[in-house]
Amino acid sequence: MTIDTDPAEAARQARAEQRSAQLLEAAARLMDRDGPESVSMQSLATEAGVSVGLIYRYFGGKDELLLAVILNVLDAFGTEVPRAMDEAGEDPVHRLAAGLRALCEVIDDQRYAVVLTYRATKQLSAEGRHRIMELELSTMEPLREALRAGRDSGVLDVVDVDLEAYNLLLLAHSWALKHWYYERRYTPAEFTTAQTAIALRALVPPRHRRKYAALLATAATQ
Amino acid sequence: MTIDTDPAEAARQARAEQRSAQLLEAAARLMDRDGPESVSMQSLATEAGVSVGLIYRYFGGKDELLLAVILNVLDAFGTEVPRAMDEAGEDPVHRLAAGLRALCEVIDDQRYAVVLTYRATKQLSAEGRHRIMELELSTMEPLREALRAGRDSGVLDVVDVDLEAYNLLLLAHSWALKHWYYERRYTPAEFTTAQTAIALRALVPPRHRRKYAALLATAATQ
DNA sequence: TCACTGTGAATGAATCTAGATTCATTTCAT
DNA sequence: ATGAAATGAATCTAGATTCATTCACAGTGA
């Protein structure tokens, strides 16, 4: 099965990957400046400094492009969340908090792409939609895992792991979804801290609260 | 200023209102059957059994129509939530639970219109967007009020009223937003009960939990 | 009671528009 | 010189919008 080793082919692949990244970057920049509805093939081409036709070489069409943008975010979740959680050590509560923070950071970074996830369902093929669902679920797996671990060791009071994991994801998504409201009241960091406190307050039973006081506190605490 | 009393004018108004309601109903039915992206002027006209042109008489265009659909849902929130809360009596916790339940019920009933709220931002005029924001905020006011009352009387542990009220709204919205996932695992009623328990678990301090045991319990409680 | 007429309601084929897609042509790298 | 990469004007498409036309009926006079 060693079909590789063709240097020309390898070079092509490398270039393709670079182009693809360039286009995704441009899409992000464009959405960030003009909102997600401005992602037309023309404006994307202009933003990326290439011609429309070229986009079709690297992405089959708009559908595939949007799918790629979305998968890109989900991929960032899949990378950043576990990394942050592992850095946080073994404690399930700290792991959870770290995961939520990472989630919020990626979302802040890719705000419009996250919103796109909710908007683009229309143009996506059934298969694309399915991939997104699968990926979203597997993205959340580390959070679910931490919830389970915390429940098993008694530091977390979890009733329904799946539901509560999804709630955490939505808590973070809300930064993108309701940004028009939150941006007036919180910085990204404040938002993250406050939501972490709220989420953990729901999960950490009283007897363990002292231990996690730092995570449970907010600037606004009375 | 008694410009009314024109019976012809009154009749016209009545008919206009009826038409408008008929069209909004058709839009709901259509979205429910074919998804929100199928709301084209043609298909809406077909569904409502009128001609395309007529829609333009009652709604200026697609933007206004979508705005009306959305305002319609928000209006239902504005009516149902306070009603349910008032029926629940004085106790802030019961009021909150009743409000959340009412929210979930309206959302289940208008699932696609709720999703539309997140999708349609594009086509809405700045003014329409603004009205939606205002309305959403005032819709949540009863929830905020209950949170404040509960905090003041000590039965609720609330750090940031605005943030937590919005989280409750999103908890309910998630039924519509992530329906593809939840529908496989919960009935609307189960979802509502579970989310209520989770939300209240976060808010009711331990010393008051016994009193609200019924709301805090779920079928799934270990 | 019945034709007659004026007015708003309703129609839907024709038009317009935004933007996605194609592909004949040109440029570039080896 | 050759093939891949890139271009962008021309085409295609979905669907929103218009508007000339028809319809329905209330009011009017015989």
Six token digits for residue B143: 């929830």
The CA–CA distances, whole Å, from B12 to A81, B15, B19, B25 equal 59, 5, 10, 20
pLDDT at B67: 93
Cβ contacts (< 8 Å) between A174 and chain B: which residues?
Answer: 166-167, 170
- What DSSP element (H or E) covers B144? helix B126-153
pLDDT at B221: 42
Cβ distance B167 to A174 less than 8 Å, yes or no, reads yes
pLDDT at B194: 95
- Mean pLDDT, to the nearest integer, of A70-96? 96
| Tens-place pLDDT, residues A84-106 | 999 999 999 999 999 999 999 99
pLDDT at B9: 67
Cβ contacts (< 8 Å) between B36 and chain A: which residues?
Answer: 122
Say if residue A135's pLDDT is above 50: yes
Six token digits for residue A60: 């089959």
Say if residue A8's pLDDT is above 80: no
pLDDT band, very low/low/confident/very high, at A186 (cuts 50, 70, 90)? very high
- Asked if A197 is an interface residue toward chain B (Cβ–Cβ < 8 A), one would say yes
Cβ contacts (< 8 Å) between A119 and chain B: which residues?
Answer: 118-119, 122
Residue B54 approaches strand C within 7 Å at CB = yes
Say if residue A190's pLDDT is above 90: yes
Residue B50 vs residue A9, higher pLDDT: B50
Quote the pTM value.
0.91
Burial B43-74 (b: 16+ CB within 10 A, else e): ebbebbebeeeebeebbeebebbbbbbbbbbb
Flag residues of chain B having pLDDT under 50. Answer: 1-5, 220-222
pLDDT at A13: 78
pLDDT at A6: 57
| Tens-place pLDDT, residues A14-62 | 888 889 999 999 999 999 998 888 899 999 999 999 999 999 999 999 9
Task: Report the candidate in A38, A167, A147 with the shortest Cα–Cα distance to residue A93.
Answer: A147
**Average pLDDT score, chain A:** 90
- Asked if A195 is an interface residue toward chain B (Cβ–Cβ < 8 A), one would say yes
Rounded CA-CA distance A78/A85 in Å is 11
